[in-house]
Amino acid sequence: MPSYQDIHRDIIELSKAGNSQAQFQLYQLYAKAMYNICYRIMNSREEAEDILQESFTEAFMKIDTFRFESAFGAWLKRITVNKCINALKKRKAEMVYTDTMPVSAYEEEDFDSRGLTVEQVQHALEEMPEGYRLVFSLFLLEGYDHGEIAQILGISESTSKSQYARARQKIQQILIQKGYGRQV
């Protein structure tokens, strides 16, 4: 039985050899997932499309460095997230990070999220301040831990945690205002 590292190995090997059809196959296999990452982080369809293309361009330029030590999707995701973070840094987005939130604020609030659709949550994410959205997306949607987020963004781990807590509160607030969720 092949391990997860062997998924699409033949296509990857052909891509390493410069086969454009194999590269297009990889693009088709991973583009939607990588676009979704870009869109969640950048909150702009145009920027997400641009970064998606840049990510694949870089991946194909560096594909000879891929050693099957991890899943190809994980390797590509790292490139994509880094491209997004760099784009945010370039545009010098105003992301205010504070770690002054009291510890009690980290506690779960009672919120009934049953019946929410992906679209409703996506619309609420679009309305969040950029710093909140970025930490929320990296932690909850992309699976990074607070230590990794702190390193990626150049902030403290406690700041990452407080931003995430504030983002959770904000998204709940937005969903309640829109009548999608309710406080219990």
Amino acid at 148: E
Count CB atoms within 10 A of the CB of residue 101: 17
Cβ contact 71:26 at 8 Å: no
Choose the final residue of a domain: 60, 90, 120: 90
Output DSSP code: residue 15.
H
Tens of pLDDT along 15-51? 999 999 999 999 999 999 999 999 989 989 999 999 9
CA dist 97 and 85 (Å) reads 15
Would the pTM count as exceeding 0.85?
no
CA dist 50 and 29 (Å) reads 18
Domain membership flag for residue 117: yes
Same domain, 86 and 12: yes
Tens of pLDDT along 107-131? 444 555 566 777 887 888 888 888 8
Cβ contact 182:176 at 8 Å: yes
Domain membership flag for residue 95: no
3-class DSSP state for residue 182? strand
CA dist 162 and 146 (Å) reads 10
End-to-end alpha carbon distance in the chain: 48
Tens of pLDDT along 135-166? 888 888 888 899 988 888 888 999 999 999 99
Number of domains forming the structure of the chain: 2
Same domain, 118 and 148: yes
**Cα–Cα distance list, 53 to 58, 73, 79, 105, 144 (Å):** 9, 15, 11, 39, 23
- Its domain, for residue 124, covers 103-183
Same domain, 70 and 126: no
- DSSP letter for each residue of 101-132: --GGGGSPPPEE-TT--HHHHHHHHHHS-HHH
Amino acid at 26: L
